Amino acid sequence: MAPTLADFGHASMRMMGRNALGKRPLLVLLLEYDDNAQGDFPRLAAVHPPAYYDQLAFGHPNPPFVTDNPANPAGLAGYVEECSIGRFSFTRVAIDGPFSMGPFGNPDDSTHIQRVAQKIIDYSPWAFIGIDGDVFDLLVSSDELVVLVIENIRKRFPANRPNDPVYATTEYFIGQPLSQVTVSLEVRIAFAGPFTPFFQIAHEVSHSLGTIDMYNPGSMNYLLTLMGAYPFYANDQATVHLDAWHKLQLGWCEPQQVELKAHGSADVAEISAQRPDGAVILWHPSRGASEYFILERRRANGPRRYDRSFPGDGLLIWHIDPARPPMNRGAPNLDPGSSGVWQTGAHTPPLSWSDGTVAVSRLTFGAGPDASIRVTW
């Protein structure tokens, strides 16, 4: 029996049981520390104009995305809407600050996270009651809210970290008179600094939806997926989509399922609202859904605004192996994690499973209908 899309993990990537489908609130706070303001802790307004971060969080800009003169940053709201083919979006809670945090004090990571989390809940505890959407338990958790914190730390390591519960008390109307209630916050917080590029900001924010890192051997899937490797302090607007495997797991596409039989073929199109089935899962009965390949059509000069940094025009072969994160088997030698893109007119060496046995003697790539790529074997 052929595996189902659910067997391949369709819509299984969740945060506390909730899919990244529909809408989710996004809160962005700018925090500033007083230490050495002209050096390691520059004022955020000295690096980017005040409107920059509002555009970066909630904008739907048209390319080209540029950092300066004048700034036209890529937007997180527009990014997730495009990647999800309209199935997921952020709603605005607020972008506010910068708020003074006093001296940094070089705390350990856990202490720092809790200090920031307390600042978040203290920012507007009354507002968090409205965000508490699933059940009225006065606990705002990662399935209800996405949080991005921008700090004025020059070498702020981009990260996504959970916080232990923090609490704040506020008044709330429960009969007469107003009642005192305690609100708690336990979420994942995406951290960035003044020079963190859009790629890394989107990468860390996406972890709050359940995504995983894809830092593999070779070139570490560089510029093939948002979850690959990229510089931490580039202060630029490089943009690439999430990979087809993540989109499958998030419920943002439904690839075709094609069995690896002799003398087979498949047409691979870009994933889009018109073609949510554009990608192709290559599977074999000997492996079922435990190990397989996803063929993904990509191009930098297509209609997508947020895939402009993709290195070429062609096809990726994602090897899905439960022993490690997905990796591209790149041109020209199927090197794991390579950024090589397979072009029309090329063919692969023998493509192997993780145990070294041959899955298919070769894949050949040619032009298909409507800008798709026809793959034969």
pLDDT at 175: 57
109 in Cβ contact with 161 (< 8 Å): yes
Model confidence pTM above 0.85: yes
What confidence tens digit (pLDDT) does each residue in 103-151 have?
Answer: 999 899 999 999 999 999 999 998 888 887 656 788 999 999 999 999 9
Low-confidence ranges of the chain (pLDDT < 70): 133-135, 173-178
| Model pLDDT, residue 302 | 94
Give pLDDT, residue 178: 63
Q: What is the pLDDT of residue 216?
A: 83
pLDDT of residue 84: 98
Angle 336-340-345 from CA coordinates, rounded to 5°: 120
Per-residue pLDDT at 36: 82
pLDDT at 160: 98
